[in-house]
Amino acid sequence: MRRGATLLELALTLVIMGLMLAIALPRLRGFADSLAVNRAALDIITAHRRARISAILQSRVIELTIDANDLAIRPRGATTDLWHAAGPAASQVTLAGPQRTITFSPVGVSLGLSNASFQLSRGAATRTVVVSRLGRVRLAP
């Protein structure tokens, strides 16, 4: 009775595994891009909800700054942040457009021109976060 594998069997197994990996890798990359874009979109939605609730609970005007590199919540006119997180660029997700600041009144309604759309993309995956003036946030495909 013989034990082990021959060199030919081992080489054939490695070739088959390599072919399977070559087929699966592009699909896995697309899946990873989709996950990163969805995570970045959820981070923006979470920051928006956190800023709105902070304005209501503290009964003061709160500003949410959304930039490719960071998300920040601070009281109007303050120099220090109440909350700060990395922006979409930290996970190689592109945020289209310039920096936006959304201002929330003490009752939780946005002030000024607060309607906004944030388009996020990485690879072939894209998502859009749509913010209304009344504080509604939705995720568009």
Host domain of residue 115: 43-140
CA distances from 18 to 28, 36, 120 (A): 15, 26, 33
The reply to whether 72 falls in a domain is yes
The reply to whether 8 falls in a domain is no
The reply to whether 50 falls in a domain is yes
The reply to whether 3 falls in a domain is no
* 8 A C-beta contact, residue 47 and residue 36: no
Residue 100: give its domain's CATH number: 3.55.40.10
**Exposure of 18 by Cβ count < 10 A (0-12 exposed, 13-18 middle, 19+ buried)?**
exposed
Q: Report the C-alpha gap between 92 and 3 in whole angstroms.
A: 49
Q: What average pLDDT score do residues 15-21 get?
A: 91
The reply to whether 90 falls in a domain is yes
The reply to whether 19 falls in a domain is no
- The total domain count for the chain is 1
Q: Residues 83-139: pLDDT tens digits?
A: 999 999 999 999 998 899 999 999 988 887 778 899 999 998 999 999 987 878 998
Helical (H) or strand (E) element with 4: none
* Residue 85 phi, psi (nearest 5): -145, 160
Contacts of 111 (CB under 8 A, 6+ apart): 61, 103, 104, 105
The reply to whether 34 falls in a domain is no
Q: Residues 61-91: pLDDT tens digits?
A: 999 999 999 999 999 989 899 999 999 999 9
